[in-house]
Chain A
Amino acid sequence: MSGEIAFNPDDKYNAFLTTCRKAPHGTGKLAGVAVAVKDNISTLNIETTCASKILKGYIPPYDAHAVGLLKSEGAAIVGKTNMDEFGMGTTTENSGFGPTLNPCDTTRVPGGSSGGSAAAVAAGMVRMALGTDTGGSIRCPAAFCGIVGLKPSYGRVSRYGLIAYSNSLEQIGPMGKTVTDVSTLMGVIAGYDRHDTSSLNKPYNHTPKADIKGLRIGIPQEYFGKGVDSQVAAVVKKAIGRLEELGATTVPCSIPSMEYALAAYYVTCTCEASSNLARFDGVRYGPAADTKKSWHDAYQEVRSAAFGPEVRRRIMLGTFALSSGYYGKYYAKAQIARENIKADFNRIFADVDVIAGPTMPTIAFKLKEKSDPLSMYLADILTVPANLAGIPAISVPCGKSEGMPVGLQIMGRMFDDERVVDVAYAYEQAVN
């Protein structure tokens, strides 16, 4: 330890669930940099709740691998950020501890589920933050709050210590005001970890380059079709035009499997979540289960009181989809759908270097605007394909619509995270 950062922000947006008023830091690439960490990433001796009442008071006895790497490069962990409970949501309204507000317009949501991390960065409370992305949870709030967020290729960042929502889809990733900050943070957290058997030895040692001459960009028709706000589409098309001016060529393409991508996504994540979240029973941590009752009764009592409605809904959906007789119809089918989506991406990436489109179909919603779960799920349609295929995807601010930020999403080939960072950097440098 080489020093301490005093951290006492005026958190008008309810971005933080926990702040560390005096955060120690060391030396290294992030020496003295204040970094916020999403509250579903375990931090030694710092309360970690996933924004759920069921983990209120839980103090992890260990650091997530990514957090350990941050510390070893000198970063100061200054706080834990608000989120949709266990990552289940697109607005951060599903937090057990109140919603986060969008710093660009406090009547709107910051997006989710990493809304607290995005708001903390957007409001300048921290320079960078860790988020997690299961179906768009880094890119959506990055787009809604006007910051940069990268979902790394599956396997490049260790998930050890990330409190699992949907293991086969999610990754920890960097969020920051600039592409350079995001790239720097990615350089610290990426790399092999023997504690995560999906981890790959693919470290990220990259300095963003703005030269994209000759780059071929795929433009999928589905990213500009039905359900995508026309003004948002126009802003994104203009941004892609800037990339063409920088020497890139665009190629129209199609991802037919997107038809069932969202269903495949929700089946996969609810099934995995129903199992992952079963351990929260008030015995080893969290609010006490009544030990005088029989175990099923005691667990039901704790879980119905402490989980929010969206979490219970997804647990029940997943429980249903995995229950006797339905596995083949839902989970198994969803995995085949994922293969088809991967195949579609592989086919397109044989011809193009990256795929570009809007991150979100609309600008940030008004608070409480989305009350029906299914219509909320539909908002994830443009972000879930990257998670289903495991490929890297970045969201970079690309202008405004109705005064609110719009995100340009760049998806790349598996493990080609450096390339999507370069394209985002080229755009950022061109417009600034």
Chain B
Amino acid sequence: MVTEKDVQHIAELADVGVSSGELGTFTHQFNAIIEYFDILDRVEGKCPVTRDLFNILREDEIEPSLPQEEVLRNAPAKEDGFIKAPRVM
């Protein structure tokens, strides 16, 4: 059982906001889905995940980078070749 407080915490962890108006609906839906997920408790077997591909590596070779203007092209805010981001202090 997930509470509204849990949903709020998860929303913060995921950096997706949940408004107080949405919280009730989200929590209700969340619980229905998680309850459905519980069927996985019935899954048996501890088999290690088999994977067919190993050691897929590339050689250490330099390839051209993007021109700086291409790097900055989609950034909504930039300054002196840097990309502007929120403060972290």
User: Touch between A and B in complex, CB under 8 Å?
Assistant: yes
Residues of A within 8 A of B (CB): 57-59, 61, 194, 197-198, 200, 259-260, 262-264, 266-267, 274, 278, 281-301, 303-304, 307, 309, 312-313, 315-317, 319-321, 323, 329-330, 333-340, 342, 372-374, 377
In contact, A339 and B45 (Cβ under 8 angstroms): yes
Closest 6 CB pairs of A and B: A304-B17, A288-B76, A285-B74, A298-B86, A319-B14, A295-B86
Q: Cα distance A259–B83 when bound, in Å?
A: 48
In contact, B87 and A293 (Cβ under 8 angstroms): yes
Known: A290-B86, A295-B85. 7 other contacts (CB 8 A): A262-B36, A263-B39, A281-B15, A283-B86, A300-B15, A340-B44, A372-B29
Partner of B76, one of A197, A287, A295, A372: A287
In contact, A321 and B37 (Cβ under 8 angstroms): yes
Q: Cα distance A198–B52 when bound, in Å?
A: 10
B13 at the interface (CB under 8 A from A): yes
In contact, B42 and A260 (Cβ under 8 angstroms): yes
A414: shortest Cβ distance to chain B, in Å? 9
Can you report 13 A-B residue pairs in the complex whose CB atoms are below 8 A from each other? A61-B66, A263-B39, A266-B33, A284-B74, A300-B17, A304-B18, A309-B22, A316-B18, A319-B14, A330-B40, A339-B45, A340-B44, A372-B29
Partner of A313, one of B26, B40, B42, B85: B26
Contact A58 to B74, CB < 8 A, known contacts A290-B86, A294-B86, A374-B36: yes
Measured as residues with beta carbon below 8 angstroms from the partner, the interface class of chain B is 35 or more
Contact A320 to B10, CB < 8 A, known contacts A294-B87, A336-B47, A374-B36: yes
Contacts of A298 in B (CB 8 A): 86
In contact, B17 and A301 (Cβ under 8 angstroms): yes
Partner of B32, one of A286, A320, A374: A374
In contact, A340 and B86 (Cβ under 8 angstroms): no
B19: shortest Cβ distance to chain A, in Å? 7
